[in-house]
Structure 1
Amino acid sequence: MDILSDELSRARAQGAVFSVLHQVSPWGLRFEGHRPLTAHILLKGSGFLVREGTDPIPLQTRDVVLATAGTPYEVVSEVGALTVPIAAAREKPLSPHDLDGPANAIVMCGAYVLSGSVGESLLQSLPAVAIVAGRDQDPAHAAAIDLLAAEALAIDSGQQALLDRLLDVNLVYALRAWWRTTDAAPGWYRALGHPPIRTVLEQLHADPALDWTLPAMARAAGLSRAAFAAQFARIVGVPAGRYLTQLRMRRAEDALSRTDQTLASIAGSVGYSNEFAFATAFRRQHGVSPGRWRNSQVEELTV
């Protein structure tokens, strides 16, 4: 079980390129910070990321910026440059003439949609702005950026589909690179470097409905019960039992919001003997019954 792929899939983490902008200095782009997760890649040139209350952050060619929702910010050629809203900058369509023009910078901007508590967990692992410098990218990530740049400079059929998929690839590489440098990485990611705990996590994610007692998890890890419990809590950040409950609840949320399965069916699929036991656990976690929670999700989608 590839846990990162599973988490991104369940968060419906899919990107869409919404602009490839050829800019002539001085230039500036303004973002309101409304989107859950936005990526910016300087395919050419240099600049700065500017946010109120923080020092400007220099950006170089190939740097990848991941920005979460919240504080507005600007990406500019130089500090103090006039800015235009990204929506206004996008209104000018790209033409073959633009590709041969005197652009000092090419900025690609893309947005990711993440949903559910899995998406929230991924977003919470990131700061307001995370930057993966081009010089720090591993060769595979650098190759993916090269493909992005080549496709962004082309005008051909299927371009949007290719850019969208390459943006998804960039997210995986960028998350890996960022999480390697921070203590805020999700606990399950930190555990991937600890084979006994990783083994258990992969099995939990593959089938959380199994009768996972603490002794059963310890056996899967090849450790004593006490050693396993201590290592799991230290590395992942929560006790194994709580992690399992949270995992089951995330799977239940997914089923409640995206399927028409009965509560009894969902209960069995996430490891509860009946819908009453499931409802009790769900209410303890969310403060409302599964049925009411499902109805609230439907109402949100129709507003």
Structure 2
Amino acid sequence: MDVLSDVVAVTRTGRPRSAHVRWHAPWGQEFTSVPGSAGFQVILQGSCWLLPPDAEPVQLGEGDVVFLPHSSGHTLTDSPGTPVTAPACGPDDHGLHDAYASDSVDRSGGGGPVTVVLCGAYQLDPSRTHPLLLTLPDLIHLPAHSDRHPELRAAVALLAAELENPRLGTDAAVPALLDTLLLYILRIWFNEQPAREGATGWAAALNDPPVTAALHAIHRDPAAPWSVAKLAAEAGLSRAPFARRFAMLIGQPPLGYLTWWRMTTAARLLRTSDAPLRSIAAQVGYTSEFAFANAFKRTHGTAPGGYRRKS
């Protein structure tokens, strides 16, 4: 798998939730911060305002996509001055509790203009959060453009159709479409980051062909006997320049990232499979179960067997 696909597969846990919600102005809805989740809002019809807790209001129009990767609380409203109703997605909420259960909901308000929103949330595992996600801003706003992001628009249209008109297979289609939507949002955001001289971090790394080639090699085959020289060959650079470039952009040396990714992959396998330790060790590049157990304990603070029993 490539690095972005792996990030989503390893970090996301449980079933993503979504809803097709119709509001009638005047309306205002608070979305509370839910630790260990990331949320999104897509405006399908009409317009509204997003009110972040510590930033200026953002006006949203039809086709706009908003992604909140760090579970930031926020409010959606037809107008910044409209009173806000009880928080959504809370344990005692009986309105948008339904709306985050892959459903279509009509929220009656006044008799004003209608706004239709596709909203949802992804459950993330904080113990496996990839550093790529940690570098994202609190709010990613992808404005609608008729001639841009056709794949994102197609995913939104398919998801909205499944939620508005459930049919045979909808329960399988919705989670797959939600994962696709998340991948498209992340891909677009990283692809559209401006290239800046001397920039570092994951946005710069994923737009740097040599480093991206090395990352893809690691994620494609984490069990391979990688060395700095072999990864440099994948990147098309000599050893020393590659190592400096990788560390500058990613924030850790190539073999440090390799070990971290191997241990993250091992943790996922321990939690999601009954494979014996020797098999998991081999899948992440260790011929010795003892060496694998030592490396795992250094990273996670507990032995693989204990980690599995607690999961």
Give the TM-score of the pair, scaled to structure 2: 0.80
List runs of 5+ in structure 1 lacking aligned partners: 298-303
Verify: 1:278 aligned to 2:289, yes or no.
no
Give 1:301's aligned residue.
none
Is it true that 1:168 corresponds to 2:183 in the alignment? no
> Structure 1 stretch 113-122 or stretch 245-254: which is displaced more?
113-122
Question: For residue 84 of structure 2, what is the aligned residue in structure 1?
Answer: 83
Indicate yes or no: 2:24 matched with 1:24: yes
* Counterpart AA for 1:23: W
Amino acid at match of 1:251: T
Q: Summarize the alignment of residues 238-257 of structure 1 with structure 2, pairs less than 5 Å apart.
A: 238-257=252-271
In structure 1, the partner of 2:121 is 111
Give the match for residue 59 of structure 1: 60
| Counterpart residue identity of residue 141, structure 2 | I
1:38-97: CA deviation from partner (whole Å, max 9, x where unpaired): 11111111111123333222221111122245553211111132233334334598589x
The Cα offsets for residues 158-208 of structure 1, whole Å up to 9 and x where unpaired, read as 555544433332211111222235599973x64443333333222211221
Q: Which moves more between the two structures, 125-134 or 30-39? A: 125-134
- The two structures have a TM-score, normalised by structure 1, of 0.82
Q: Cα distance 1:149–1:265, how it changes in 2: closer, same or farther (>3 A)?
A: closer
Who is 1:134 aligned against?
144
Following the alignment from structure 1 to structure 2, what is the Cα–Cα distance between the partners of residues 185 and 28?
A: 39
Matches within 5 A, 1:82-231: 82-84=83-85, 85-86=87-88, 87-90=93-96, 104-115=114-125, 117-121=127-131, 123-135=133-145, 137-154=148-165, 157-159=168-170, 161-181=172-192, 187=202, 190-231=204-245
CA distance in 2, matches of 1:160, 1:74: 28
Structure 2, unmatched stretches of 5+, are none
Percent identity between the two aligned chains: 35
What is the root-mean-square deviation of aligned Cα atoms in Å? 3.2
Q: How many residues align?
A: 293
Structure 1 partner of 2:51: 50
Distance (whole Å) between structure 2 residues aligned to residue 161 and residue 150 of structure 1 = 14
Determine which structure has the larger helix proportion and give its number.
1
- Counterpart code for 2:24: V
Q: Secondary structure at the match of 2:222?
A: coil
- Please say which of residues 163-172 and 23-32 is displaced more in the overlay: 163-172
Opposite residue 273 of structure 1, the aligned amino acid is T
Aligned partners of 2:25 and 2:112 also within 8 Å = no
